[in-house]
A and B are shown apart, each in its own frame.
Chain A
Amino acid sequence: MSEKIEYLKRRVAARKMSRREFVGRATAMGVSAAAAGTMFANAAQAAGPVRGGTLKAGLSGGASSDTLDPALVASEATHGILRTWSDTLVNVSRDGAVVPRLAEEITSSPDAKTWNFRLRKGVEFHNGKTMTPEDVVATIERHTGDEAKSGAQGIVKGIESMAIDGDIVSITLSQANADFPYLMADYHLAIQPNGGKDDPNAGIGTGAYIIESNEPGVRTTFHKNPNDWDPDRGYADNVEILVINDATARTSALQSGQVDMINRVDPKVAGLLDRAPNLTVKNVSGRGHYVFIMRIETDEFVNNDLRMALKLAINRQEMVDKILRGYGSVGNDFPINAAYPLFDDTIEQREYDPEKAAEYYRKSGHDGSPIILRTSDAAFPGAVEAAQLFQESARTAGIPLEVKREPSDGYWSEVWNVKPFCTSYWSGRPVQDQMYSTAYLSTAEWNDTQWKRPEFDAMLIEAKAELDPARRKELYSKMAWMLRDEGGLILPMFNDFVDAISTRVMGYEDDPNGELMDHFAMQRCWVEG
């Protein structure tokens, strides 16, 4: 029988057999329909990409007030649209390495203060203009400055000066940063002709697809860029991105075949959806995490014994099972996981231990009055339930928690970064340096746990300038231990990205950088049949 199956697989690889035919014959030989589907997918994937057809994505996170300006991209649908028409200097690969894109070669001065990007030659924008170093400099300039209103403002802040030498753009930083190329992978920094200074909303870039029509919050249609510089992408002739904000509408659009891929599948239905015959649910562990924030400088949480008691009183596995329905992994009270480069996997996992928690709670000398935990659905999906689970597990350890539900409107301005104890969400960053610099540096604006340790800051700055990976890893490991044992962060879980794709879509790969292959799925997937 296996010979016959092999024969069928070869027919598929040679594109001589359709999915329907293959599954039909394979099941006739006693293979289950699900297994036959997988076999077909593998065989077709091995055969390489197919060109042609239309790829349709249904994405949440769009509104009729959206624009095409890369600087203002903040939600998923606008992110997906941007990725489809634009390129950045570099990308971050699935295993966390920097991949040259519009920059062909990246070198730095030995002190990691000056970075040289040699640009790819002969790259054309959609309007026929050839990309020049001036365009790159203008793009970065447009995101700098107080009036820029750009999502990348914090990233380009450290740039001191830029210079052009032939086809090389050299960027000098005010402070050494070994991770600088990672920052250039930020999607806001999509290269536009003259940096988009003439018309930021033009939607003209160097991507695999050219925008045909754009109705904000409804639909954006694209056709293949005939002069694309990268032959290994842009397989479909046309791409359509539909904005479908309602989760149920999104899943029914996929099930009824009106779209080929969707983002943000509700974990509550993901298991059921995966049983549907014509689609697959893809969950990819990423760097986003659901957290409880204790502000160290408040009267209560200045006491590390109380912080430790609460860290031990949370049942992490239960949270992953009940809040994420298994689509996630447990956290260890520091914001880094295996999805980051230079992660130290030898750091001991903290477990739920009510007895030890009770011991620390007694040691802290807390007066026994209920500790108020503020929460809202705005923090993350299921935040209210997560707070209640925490309340229960802490009760077992004899620690009284009082869950206070706050309105979603204004949660990020009135509660988070203001009140002593609350639920929150962090989306993660491509590298450890960026994550720590954003939220754990003494001077960081978003240092929500009020973590202010000079020795931690010193290690962070040392690691930033260190080009030896072994030494950097060691520094990051020390920082992680410190934060885990003394910080104000309770990190019970990292959430997965949950996408669903139709079985006619090929070329999907798990990417921890973001949902739908970090939104590159529209450029890199192809449709079969």
Chain B
Amino acid sequence: MHPIVKLVAQRLALGILLLFAASVLIFAGTQILPGDVAQSILGQSATETTLANLREQLGLNEPAVTRYFKWLFAALHGDLGTALTNGADIAESLGKRLKNTLFLAACAAAVSVPLAITLGLVAVRFRDRWPDKLISAATLATISIPEFLLGYVLAWFIAVKWGWAPSVAMISDSMSLAEKLHAVALPVAVLTMVVLAHMMRMTRAAILNVMQSAYIETAELKGLSGLEVIRKHALPNAVAPIVNVVMLNLAYLVVGVVVVEVVFVYPGLGQYLVDHVSKRDVPVVQACGLIFAAVYIGLNMVADIVSILANPRLRHPK
């Protein structure tokens, strides 16, 4: 077997193992939450008999291990159960929200990743001169401002004052792609500002690191122009750390944007999770936890595999 196939297979297996470990943690975490699920559903109207009936109905009388494997087995078959609060099918309602979250994350990534890498390259090319300083100052400023404030300021100018884009970024299936893109313009702008600096600084640092190497000097002596040297020789050798930080930010765009969702009234997964946590709707919280863990593990695995593939020593073994 080609060693690279073996390495990738190992990574995949490790990722799946990690996901199982995460599922154990999520299940255990929701079990030690204070309060009994049956009690929190019934609230004030709880009596001994209704409590006992509901516990029986929810299978709460079985040992935790049995319940865990039942839950896991159902989840692997795509059955995430029904929400305790409104009896909705979790897979269905969560699916809709996840689609929205992924759409927003994809739009934000499509803008921010190329922009961050380009700005990083430009910053290296003009290192320590005004373009570098301007880029650093601007991106550090936007990452330092809390995202809700950025959101309100943009909403005030762009939505209220000038009317270019809506401040309520509500999307629905009946909208065309162009309408959806217009609707999410403001949240995408805010998210871009929030993640730009991290990726840009990492790109700059990784490439600068490579720029010290002897082969860069050789390339310069060959007579290549500054940007050509960076693009052809420095960037390919700096891919691994850049991909890592890009994946980290993509994961953030999927699981960590609840504040932006609230400010722009975006129907994403974060708001869905928060609503159900406050009502102690455990099955929904477990399902969301599983999705978030899968996103994190999956994206990190992609980063690992890309770094492996980007390493010529692993690609062409002796």
A contact residues vs B (CB 8 Å cutoff): 58, 63-67, 146-149, 201, 215-219, 242-246, 248-249, 252-253, 255-259
Contact = CB atoms under 8 A, between A and B. Distances in A.
B86 A258 contact: no
A258 B166 contact: yes
Tell me which of B93, B168, B263 has the highest count of chain A C-beta atoms within 10 A of its own C-beta: B168
A507 B279 CA distance: 37
A244 B45 CA distance: 30
A256 B275 contact: no
Interface of B: 42-43, 45, 47, 50, 83, 85-88, 93, 96-97, 152, 155-156, 159-160, 163, 166-168, 170, 172, 262-265, 267, 271-272, 275-276, 278-279, 281, 284
Contacts of A245: 262
B156 A65 contact: no
A373 B85 CA distance: 35
A89 B103 CA distance: 45
Nearest to A145: B45
A146 B152 CA distance: 46
Given A64-B275, A217-B275, A245-B262, A253 B167 contact: yes
Contacts of A149: 42-43, 45
Given A149-B42, A256-B166, 19 more contacts: A58-B168, A63-B275, A64-B272, A65-B284, A66-B85, A67-B85, A147-B45, A149-B45, A201-B87, A215-B172, A219-B170, A242-B168, A242-B265, A248-B263, A249-B168, A252-B152, A252-B155, A256-B163, A256-B167
A255 B166 CA distance: 11
A526 to B, nearest CB: 22
- 7 smallest beta-carbon distances between A and B, as pairs: A65-B85, A63-B275, A67-B86, A218-B267, A64-B275, A256-B159, A252-B167
Contacts of A256: 159-160, 163, 166-167
A219 B159 CA distance: 20
B89 to A, nearest CB: 13
A246 B87 contact: no
A244 B170 CA distance: 10
Nearest to A252: B167
Nearest to A244: B265
A242 B42 CA distance: 29
A215 B267 contact: yes
A67 B87 CA distance: 9
A253 B156 CA distance: 10
A216 B272 CA distance: 10
Contacts of A248: 152, 155, 263
A201 to B, nearest CB: 7
Contacts of A215: 96, 172, 267
Contacts of B166: 256, 258
Contacts of A258: 166-168
A202 B88 CA distance: 13
B45 A216 contact: no
A275 B263 CA distance: 23
A510 B314 CA distance: 75
B86 A216 contact: yes
Contact of A244 (B43, B96, B168): B168
12 contacts: A64-B276, A65-B281, A65-B284, A147-B50, A215-B267, A217-B267, A218-B170, A242-B168, A248-B263, A249-B263, A249-B264, A258-B166
Given A65-B86, A67-B87, A242 B170 contact: yes
Contacts of A246: 262-263, 265
B8 to A, nearest CB: 38
B45 A65 contact: no
A252 B264 CA distance: 10
B300 to A, nearest CB: 28
Contact of B155 (A148, A218, A249): A249
Contacts of A65: 83, 85-86, 275-276, 279, 281, 284
Contacts of A219: 170, 172, 267
Nearest to A67: B86
A252 B159 contact: yes
Contacts of A243: 265
A156 to B, nearest CB: 14
Contacts of A255: 160
Given A217-B271, A217-B275, A244-B168, A249 B156 contact: no
Contacts of A252: 152, 155-156, 159-160, 167
A269 to B, nearest CB: 12
Contacts of B43: 149
Nearest to A255: B160
Tell me which of A65, A215, A244, A255 has the highest count of chain B C-beta atoms within 10 A of its own C-beta: A65
Contacts of B281: 65
Contact of A253 (B42, B45, B265, B271): B265
Contacts of A63: 275, 278-279
